[in-house]
Amino acid sequence: MSKITSEDVLKVAKLARLEIPDDQIEIYTSQLEKILGYVAQLEEVETKDVSPTTRAVEVVNVVREDVVIESTIKEDLLDQAPQREGNFFRVPKILSD
């Protein structure tokens, strides 16, 4: 892999429409060099027999069968409302016509 130069960083910054202060160019050059070195290191890892994943730890959904249970909670809640209109809460009008 070729060494990243300050000119490379400035070119990438220009393409990305980023302004990099002159005193930061060497820092970004060094950081970009390290990042690309790490990517090159990852490219050496053999992944032929590794199945693709979306996360490091497999997550499995736990499902249960839906069962209808008769309940009176709806009536209990509606009975606690300050004003009730049938199966609904009656509330003050908040929008004007």
11-40: pLDDT as tens digits: 999 999 999 999 999 999 999 999 999 999
pLDDT for 53:
82
CB atoms within 10 A of CB 28: 19
For the entire predicted model, the pTM comes to 0.48
Decide which of 14 and 96 is more confident: 14
pLDDT at 14: 95
**Are residues 11 and 29 in contact, defined by beta-carbon separation less than 8 angstroms?**
no
- 77 by Cβ neighbours in 10 Å (0-12 / 13-18 / 19+) ranks as exposed
| Residue 76 domain-assigned (yes or no) | no
Domain for residue 89, yes or no? no
Model confidence pLDDT, tens digit, residues 51-81: 888 888 888 888 999 999 888 898 889 989 9
Domain extent at residue 25:
6-43
- Domain membership of residue 11 (yes or no) is yes
